[in-house]
Structure 1
Amino acid sequence: MFKSLKVAIAALFVMATPAAAEFELSFYMGLQGVQDSTGSGTLPGGAPFSRNIDWEGNSLDTPFYYGGRVTWWTQNNIGFGIEGTHAKAYASNADLAALGLSRFELSDGHNIITANIMKRFPDAFANSRFTPYVGAGLGIAIPHVDAQVIGATNRTFDYETTGFAARGIAGMKYALNDKWSLFGEYQATWSDNDITIDADPAVPGQTAGKLDTTLVTHAVNIGISYSF
């Protein structure tokens, strides 16, 4: 998986470099939610489960939801770049109780890393500082898994590479000057997650648990960009 992503990133650099006209750095924060999803798998020890999970985004609780991207804009207003989003997902209290967990959250980031292709439309509004844009990306999900089974002596607390991810973007940029811009955008991410829940070392021979789920996030972002 990592090898495929490296190849994709290298290809973007090769495509963007010959006709590069502009380099743009963007940073954003916003309000992010998570759709319900079906979570299935086994708890440590092998007990199976399958349940619709009501996820919460809690984007304004620390650590905050945020993201950033770098984009190489070519002369035909096609952009190539890399983006990372620190989204979040928390299982509800009702789901925790039903699953036999005291905690399950991806709160130090349901981190989505993608290689993007962007398109902007600087002539959409005549003599205007506003520029609409759209984009899409493919990459991987690297959430920080924080989970604990009720009664377990240990806690799963680590970054995991859990599967492929994708994003879609639609936004509007307002130029403050030739370098700085403000922007607002809608963004959605999709990720296929195969999450490991560590076995309890106090239980001899216990096997690790698994939770498989597809997560879809929706966010409204506000940010700032610097171009050079």
Structure 2
Amino acid sequence: MLARERLLAPLWPAPGSVRRPSTSTIARAVELTAAAAAMGLLVMAAALPNDSDTRATATNPPVSTAQHPGRESDFGAYLGAPYHYPSDFHYVKPGNSDLTIKKIDWFTLPFENPLYYGVRIQRWFSGRFGTMLDFTHSKVHAPFDDQQFDMEGTFDGKPVPPKGRVGDYFKKLEWTHGHNMLTLNGLMRLPSLGIFSPYFGAGAGLSFPHSEIYPKNAPSRTYEYQYTGPVAQALFGIELRLKTGSVFIEYKFTSADYWGPLTGRDGTWFPIDMWRQFSRWWSGEPTKDGWAGAKLTSHQVIGGFLTRFVPKPATP
């Protein structure tokens, strides 16, 4: 095996050995309404000091004020709500199971513990262009009620019926301590409308979900943080710029391709789980209970607050 193929084999099965989760199709239009909880922070504006009046020169690029965005660094946090498109879930245990559950209606409970939340760091190099490191902690549940889905393949060595419930084959199937996405994004501001500053951006990154998957034919659950594949996102939002910060609302579109090992173990905390996954990958150790994954495509509406850090203007 080539060196590169050997390195990738423990993370992803070799091409053609198993089928990857099929991509979901848009099944219905989305109507999503979310509460922007951070809007209550507007009351802080009255107590904040005024921005200094700085002017741009050839050696002193523009810095930010409430009405005139420029060079600045921002730190922010947000809450929100996602909608996940239905998608196929695929479970493979070599020599035992090769099951596909079609178009699962994933759902989320964003305002129940653990909450949907996110944090970000932004750096604007000018009034127009910037970059952002964004972490989103979303959630994904599979329904365990009487809802039936189309199925194909085998489970525990036996063919599955054309339709069935998720609960017929799994005790748990969710990523609820994190459908976690870390992305690096490019940003661009549109022309401001007074204290309202619209912007858009796009980026890519990595998925680090906390998987809780427990097939009924497995002796134990997989309950740990994992690296499962790439993620991409696009976003559009608008800031209401206050004196030393901003309230913002934003729409995000994300797509994450999950494909992770089922280790049959309870993890501890993120760094240790990542190290153990890397060690198994490096050594070529086979997974205990197979592989599982899905393509998670989501609409997300968020609202939050940014604190602004403006560099001091150069002395004339």
TM above 0.5, yes or no, is: yes
Q: Gapped runs of 5+ residues in structure 1?
A: 1-18
Counterparts in 2 of 1:20-31, with a 5 A limit?
Answer: 21-31=71-81
Once the two structures are TM-superposed, the CA of residue 148 in structure 1 deviates from its matched residue by: 1.3
**Residue of structure 2 in register with 1:118 after alignment:** 187
Equivalent residue in structure 1 for 2:167, among 97, 107, 111:
97
Bigger strand share: 1
Counterparts in 2 of 1:22-171, with a 5 A limit?
Answer: 22-43=72-93, 46-52=96-102, 53-93=104-144, 94=147, 95-98=165-168, 100-121=169-190, 123-125=191-193, 128-150=194-216, 152-171=218-237
2:182 matches 1:182: no
Structure 2 Cα separation of the partners of residues 76 and 183 of structure 1:
17
Answer whether contact 1:44 1:197 (CA < 8 A) is retained.
Answer: no
RMSD across aligned positions (CA): 2.2
Residues paired across the two proteins, number: 201
| Runs of 4+ residues over 4 Å off in structure 1 | none
Q: Gapped runs of 5+ residues in structure 2?
A: 1-60, 62-69, 148-164, 266-285, 310-316
Equivalent residue of 1:97, what SS?
Answer: helix
2:296 matches 1:215: yes
Percent of pairs with identical residues: 28
Structure 1 Cα separation of the partners of residues 94 and 212 of structure 2:
15
Q: Map Cα deviations across residues 124-175 of structure 1 (whole Å, 9 max, x no partner).
A: 32xx110101011110001000111226442211011000101111111101
Larger radius of gyration: 2
CA 1:48–1:209 in structure 2 vs 1: closer, same or farther (change >3 Å)? Answer: same
Answer whether contact 1:43 1:197 (CA < 8 A) is retained.
Answer: no
**Residue of structure 1 in register with 2:279 after alignment:** none
Q: Map Cα deviations across residues 57-110 of structure 1 (whole Å, 9 max, x no partner).
A: 211121000111111101142111211000111111144224x10111100001
CA 1:149–1:44 in structure 2 vs 1: closer, same or farther (change >3 Å)? Answer: farther
Once the two structures are TM-superposed, the CA of residue 198 in structure 1 deviates from its matched residue by: 2.6
Answer whether contact 2:263 2:287 (CA < 8 A) is retained.
Answer: no
